[in-house]
Amino acid sequence: MIPPPPLIGDGQGKYRVHISTLGKKLADALGVPFISLDTYFWLPGWKQSTNDEMREKITKAFAEATDGWVVDGNYTRRIGTIVEETSTDVIWLDPPLALSLPRIIWRTFLRLSWIARMSRIGLGVGSDADGRKMRRLGGWGRDLEIWFAEVQRMVKQG
């Protein structure tokens, strides 16, 4: 059995990927814009965009990214399913607890002591494994490196 490609895409060489931590690196590899939903939600002074404002900004950003995009963030409660409906791939990084827990504790300490800025990225859980858009990558180690190398190889092959 042939393994599935690292990204599915739309069949025409365009990728609209919903991902978190690895987003910027993946966008650079694919040659498409990286869209952080946080930048559309948060206004100066930590004010929040309205749901309609945010949805309008994201719709515009998607329309301008004609060759595809990579998105991070999860604002389904605010903007509906616009990201899920239009993405060709969803990448879910699922690091082991032994890796993520120390990082969470360290970041929390830094934020509580005002050494680092507060993060606005939430933790979302979801799956579209049956719809084949979703990839769940266990860990941030070797599995992730292998997957990203496959993406880079796929891009080079055109």
Which parts of the chain sit beneath pLDDT 70? 1-6, 8-10, 12-21, 93-95, 99, 111, 114-141
Residue 139 lies in a domain: yes
Residue 78 lies in a domain: yes
Total domains present in the chain: 1
CATH number at residue 86: 3.40.50.300
Work out the percent of the chain whose per-residue pLDDT is above 90. Answer: 13
42 CB burial (10 A radius; 0-12, 13-18, 19+): middle
In DSSP terms, which residues pair with 34 in a beta bridge? Answer: 70
Residue 7 lies in a domain: no
User: What is the per-residue pLDDT for 91?
Assistant: 77
Alpha carbon distance 105, 90 (integer Å): 27
Alpha carbon distance 95, 89 (integer Å): 19
Residue 8 lies in a domain: no
The amino acid at residue 92 is: W
Distance of CA 49 to the CA centre of its chain: 20
Q: Is 85 helix (H, G, I), strand (E, B) or coil?
A: helix
Residue 6 lies in a domain: no
User: What is the per-residue pLDDT for 140?
Assistant: 55
117 CB burial (10 A radius; 0-12, 13-18, 19+): exposed
- Beta carbons of 9 and 89 less than 8 angstroms apart: yes
Could you list the residue range(s) of the whole structural domain that residue 145 is in? 15-95+124-152
Buried b / exposed e along 76-92 (16+ C-beta atoms within 10 A): eebbeebbeeebbbbbb
Residue 113 lies in a domain: no
User: What is the per-residue pLDDT for 133?
Assistant: 59
Structure tokens at 59: 């719709």
User: What is the per-residue pLDDT for 57?
Assistant: 94
Residue 77 lies in a domain: yes
User: What is the per-residue pLDDT for 128?
Assistant: 45
Alpha carbon distance 135, 138 (integer Å): 10
User: What is the per-residue pLDDT for 125?
Assistant: 33
User: What is the per-residue pLDDT for 53?
Assistant: 94
